[in-house]
Amino acid sequence: MDFAEFKREVHRRFGLYLDGYKEPQLKRRIDSLMSLLQVPDYAAYLRLLSQDSQQWQRFIDKITINVSEFFRNPEIFARLEKEILPPLLARHQSLKVWSAACADGPEPYSVAILLNELAPAGRHQIDATDIDTSALAAARRGVYPSRAIQAVTPERRERYFRREGDNFYLQEKIKHMVNFRRHDLLKDPFGSGYHLILCRNVVIYFTAATQNELYRRFYQALAPGGVLFIGATESLFQYRELGFIKVAPWFYRRPEV
């Protein structure tokens, strides 16, 4: 079994579509994991994934980088708070938000904190999705180590978290603002009518063609006037061709009708 056949079988058996990933990076990660496990070939590894749920989770963890923290890149989140959200809230009393590839939840919860402060009376809808069900389960628990909240201000840490030992427990009110569900960016349908979509530091792992297709679909998922927020490691060079207006570094708006 070669690597192309392995990817096809993973899709057929597990529903995980791997063709959109940059192949050299993806193959390097999988080969590295196989080497650690001393698995001789792709056929044997596929059998292992089919028989061992722990190894399947390890495989998912290897190909999806679940590194996240609250207010990651604080200076960029400050721009979201001061420049992006106020105009959106001036037009819409309640916002519809999607945090795509949310890992274990710090990103959507950070947005929930901002909306709780900027527009506490709003009936905001915050959808948060990821391909990794284990990460989503951790997100719903809302319990984080200190490294995940290192960018949270002391005031917010005091207001929104309860410390027990080495862990920090997120306030229930903020947890209830976010709806988590499984979603595969490469094959599942997107929602629509979002005022803000966050997809940060994920698209860089996909091929250029897949990146363009995802950005096109994000554009369609935004409401007119809605904003796409991408990662600090990413650039959307073809934003004009896709129809976006660049509002600020890492923020792109779908024009009003």
d(CA 202, CA 196): 17
pLDDT at residue 179, as a whole number: 98
pLDDT at residue 182, as a whole number: 96
Helix (H, G, I), strand (E, B) or coil at 154: helix
pLDDT at residue 65, as a whole number: 65
The fold of 74-254 is: Rossmann fold (3.40.50)
Q: Whose CA is closest to 93, among 66, 70, 120, 75?
A: 120
**What's the burial of 10, exposed, middle or buried (CB within 10 Å: 0-12/13-18/19+)?**
buried
Q: Where in the chain is the domain with CATH 3.40.50.150?
A: 74-254
pLDDT at residue 66, as a whole number: 64
pLDDT in tens, 178-200: 999 999 999 999 999 999 999 99
pLDDT at residue 74, as a whole number: 93
pLDDT at residue 189, as a whole number: 96
pLDDT at residue 20, as a whole number: 83
pLDDT at residue 12, as a whole number: 87
Helix (H, G, I), strand (E, B) or coil at 90: helix
Which H or E run includes 109? helix 106-118
The stretches in the chain having pLDDT less than 50 are: none
- Those residues with Cβ within 8 angstroms of residue 201's Cβ, 6 or more apart along the chain or in another chain: 65, 231, 232, 233, 234
pLDDT at residue 38, as a whole number: 95
pLDDT at residue 118, as a whole number: 98
pLDDT at residue 204, as a whole number: 84
